[in-house]
A and B are shown apart, each in its own frame.
Chain A
């Protein structure tokens, strides 16, 4: 059995930020990630981030990832890659599988769950054909492996992921036939949407994909217009000759381990579905189990990093590394930055949704 003070599950922006905060205070930390490289989604985010200077606005995700890794190394934080956390017990025992070949038990005084999110799928006849993939998968193809997923692409979903990945596919030399959006309005930030628009990609609002056609792989896709009640209007079908269909229809928090641990949950559509309740220190309804990042509700890398810091500070404080006064000062700094990130037309909804989670947590009496 391996023993550690703090086990961080997930080496993305939230997990690494949590680990850095905890290690800075002097705690022993181990970060576990199922991927072969750390950094989560940061290394495929070649676009510049938004927000204030404090939040690294104008810096590309990939460079933020590099900074986090440098700090992780400098602090001597142990990072286990190709490591899957397969189970979690409320008494802080993790069942971990390394390289798919070795089973290890890890006993941790505190656990920070930063397992991120998974892309939503949609189904239509033909969606299991090779060539249909998540937009995030296409982004991994081009930005991590430098391989084009196809020649001509149909993007389903006009949110930030849909328009950003469309633009990056164009940069990678692919053709984007169209972006299809089921809602009557486009979903992404104006600046990203406008870039794709200027590149000449047509948008189809109030449309959805009806089916993918092809013998052994996608050869074409049929889309159809939707009426005000989201029902398909017969006779409005359009066919696109494409070899790839990318699905960018949102994300769902990846919280299986929190369910297994026995955390209480709440369904909040604005945060992507069921999310584990947590207090304003990021502790769940299970004592000693903290959460941070997309697993607590879909937001952005900037807020994931702040939540990670908050979880990191509080785990080490609960182990006696900080006085109450120090903890409050450090936490308030982070909370102010988090608040600043959750402003404006896109941020306000997330702010009230996150507050809903914290309020619901307060209403529950937890067995200690």
Chain B
């Protein structure tokens, strides 16, 4: 069973080892880990893995979790179909 990957971000299939490696290579913030590994860049935008990654970062660096700001949040906060950005789809009122 040892070959089972220890995934932490399931959207981007990033493993715990990859997070630890990023920290060992100098990442000190959640945003740095995200840019380095893509953890938190997927469909859920880190809603599932963010706290777990913060705990690893805290354990490995001694930084307090309360100082570890979450990944930068950007709109859209929900997955949106690219066709919605077409101009014609945006015309007209709600009803």
**Which residue numbers of A lie inside 8 Å of B, CB to CB?**
1-2, 34, 84-88, 95, 97-98, 100-104, 118, 120-128, 211, 213, 252, 254, 256-257, 259-260, 267, 269, 273-274
A221 to chain B, nearest CB (A): 12
B77 touching A267 by the CB < 8 A rule? no
A103 to chain B, nearest CB (A): 5
B78 touching A84 by the CB < 8 A rule? yes
A86 touching B65 by the CB < 8 A rule? no
Chain B residues with CB under 8 Å of A274's CB are 70
Q: Which of A34, A84, A98, A128 contacts B7 (CB 8 A)?
A: A128
Q: Please give me the residue from chain A that is nearest to B85 by CB atom.
A: A103
Instruction: Please measure, in the bound complex, the distance between the C-alpha atom of A88 and the C-alpha atom of B73, giving whole angstroms.
Output: 11
Q: Which of B47, B51, B76, B81 contacts A87 (CB 8 A)?
A: B76
A33 to chain B, nearest CB (A): 12
A2 touching B78 by the CB < 8 A rule? no
B81 to chain A, nearest CB (A): 6
Q: Please give me the residue from chain A that is nearest to B5 by CB atom.
A: A125
B4 touching A97 by the CB < 8 A rule? no
**Which residue numbers of B lie inside 8 Å of A, CB to CB?**
1, 4-8, 10, 16, 45, 47-49, 51-52, 65-66, 70, 73-78, 80-81, 84-85, 89-90, 93-94
Q: Which of A98, A100, A257 contacts B94 (CB 8 A)?
A: A98
Q: Which of A2, A97, A257 contacts B93 (CB 8 A)?
A: A2
Q: Which of A87, A118, A120, A125 contacts B6 (CB 8 A)?
A: A125
B13 to chain A, nearest CB (A): 8
B48 touching A259 by the CB < 8 A rule? no
Q: Please give me the residue from chain B that is nearest to A104 by CB atom.
A: B94
Q: Please give me the residue from chain B that is nearest to A260 by CB atom.
A: B73
Among B4, B5, B47, find the residue whose CB has the most chain A CB atoms closer than 10 A: B4
B80 touching A2 by the CB < 8 A rule? no
A86 touching B78 by the CB < 8 A rule? yes
Q: Please give me the residue from chain B that is nearest to A211 by CB atom.
A: B1
Q: Please give me the residue from chain A that is nearest to B92 by CB atom.
A: A102
Instruction: Please measure, in the bound complex, the distance between the C-alpha atom of A126 and the C-alpha atom of B7, giving whole angstroms.
Output: 8
B65 touching A95 by the CB < 8 A rule? no
Chain A residues with CB under 8 Å of B73's CB are 256, 259-260
Q: Which of B6, B70, B84 contacts A103 (CB 8 A)?
A: B84
Q: Which of A34, A84, A254 contacts B47 (CB 8 A)?
A: A254
Nearest 10 interchain pairs by C-beta: A87-B75, A86-B76, A267-B66, A259-B73, A256-B77, A84-B78, A125-B4, A256-B73, A103-B84, A121-B48
A129 to chain B, nearest CB (A): 9
